[in-house]
């Protein structure tokens, strides 16, 4: 029948799963956190851990030592709008939009102690043609890589978002993580395996390896009771290999960021 709309339970409000309400922004002080990391096929130094991010084959991830202005740079002709998300000197969440000026770097207005993500803004008029970097003093703190879209003669363009298994918990919040997945191009041969670990650094400087586990092709953890990380905690998810053979690795982590009591 023309003009008839079938109402779902969600729309009429009789019942809705809590997780969906959080995703819809209906629960005050709660927001979904999804962290994705990727290492393209590359050889490892056996026993040396790498943070899973765009530059893992050559460079381990390092955090800024103080809040600094970042420079966002695209490639020739890029005019896309980039959303920069991170934390200020006091670990408060900050973000801004930066319009690319081709291969000429554009400085951020804010100073960032941490970068949690850079991505092409939803309202961007275009997608970058190539790699986008977030740099200060010659050090890269986030990167949007590029890839070919379409088989054979498909065009190469930005993948749209950084993919780094790095996160710092904003002030006034606690991060609760309940899903950890990692995938590799190893085929389950027990001669080749990877070791996965999470390294947490508190804002006071205490460092610890929160978990460590060997795996080959697939690593999956679903926690009934989420793992809690306090405000100001830097987290890096890292891997190492038992063999120097090239391997591709992807990491998916999911949880919810909850404002602490009295923070709102």
Task: Note the pLDDT tens digit of each residue in 229-245.
Answer: 999 999 999 999 988 88
The dihedral of CA 152, 156, 158, 163: what is its sign? Answer: positive
Burial class (CB within 10 angstroms; exposed 0-12, middle 13-18, buried 19+) of 199: middle
In the chain, count H helices and then E strands. Answer: 2, 18
Q: How far apart are CA 251 and CA 168, in angstroms?
A: 17
* Predicted pLDDT at 149: 83
Residue 102 in contact with residue 77, Cβ under 8 Å? yes
In this prediction, residue 156 carries a pLDDT of 83
Q: Band of the pLDDT at 105, cuts 50, 70, 90?
A: very high
Residue 113 has pLDDT above 70, yes or no: yes
Spatial separation of the C-alpha atoms in residues 216 and 219, rounded to whole Å: 8
pTM: 0.91
Task: Read off the pLDDT band of 178 (50, 70, 90).
Answer: very high
Reply yes or no on whether the pLDDT at 189 is more than 80.
no
Query: Could you give the C-alpha distances from 31 to 17, 24, 99, 110, 237, in angstroms and in order?
Result: 15, 9, 26, 23, 21
In order of their start, the domains of the chain are 18-60+167-259 (2.60.120), 68-162 (no CATH)
Q: Which residue carries 């000197």 as its tokens?
A: 89
pLDDT for 89 beyond 60: yes
Q: What percent of the chain has pLDDT over 90?
A: 70
Residue 125 predicted with pLDDT over 60: yes
Q: Which H or E run contains 221?
A: strand 218-229
pLDDT-derived band at 16 (thresholds 50, 70, 90) equals: confident
Label residues 169-182 b or e (16+ Cβ within 10 Å = b): bbbbbbbbbeebeb
Position 1 pLDDT exceeds 60:
no
pLDDT average, residue stretch 101-126: 97
């Amino acid at each position: 029948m023309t003009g008839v709309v079938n109402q779902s339970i969600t729309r009429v409000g009789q019942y809705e799963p809590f997780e969906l309400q959080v995703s819809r922004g209906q629960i005050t002080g709660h927001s979904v956190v999804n962290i994705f990391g990727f290492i393209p096929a590359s050889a490892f130094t056996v026993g040396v851990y790498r943070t899973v991010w765009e530059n893992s084959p050559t460079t381990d991830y390092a955090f800024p030592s103080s809040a600094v202005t970042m420079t966002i740079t695209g490639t020739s002709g890029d005019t896309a709008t980039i959303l920069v998300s991170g934390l200020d000197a006091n670990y408060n969440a900050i973000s801004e939009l930066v319009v690319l000026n081709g291969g000429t770097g554009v400085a951020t207005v804010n100073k960032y102690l941490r970068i949690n993500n850079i991505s092409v803004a939803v309202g961007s008029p275009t997608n970058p043609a190539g790699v986008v970097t977030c740099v200060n003093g010659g050090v890269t703190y986030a990167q949007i890589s590029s890839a070919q879209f379409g088989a054979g003669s498909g065009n190469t363009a930005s993948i749209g978002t950084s993919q780094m298994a790095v996160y710092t918990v904003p002030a006034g919040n606690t991060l609760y993580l309940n899903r950890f997945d990692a995938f590799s191009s190893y085929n389950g041969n027990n001669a080749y395996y990877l070791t996965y670990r999470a390294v947490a650094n508190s804002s006071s400087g205490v460092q610890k390896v929160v978990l460590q586990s060997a795996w080959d092709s697939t690593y999956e953890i679903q926690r009934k009771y989420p793992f809690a990380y306090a405000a100001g905690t830097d987290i890096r998810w890292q891997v190492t290999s038992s063999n120097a053979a090239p391997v591709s690795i992807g990491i998916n982590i999911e949880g919810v960021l909850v404002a602490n009591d009295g923070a709102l």
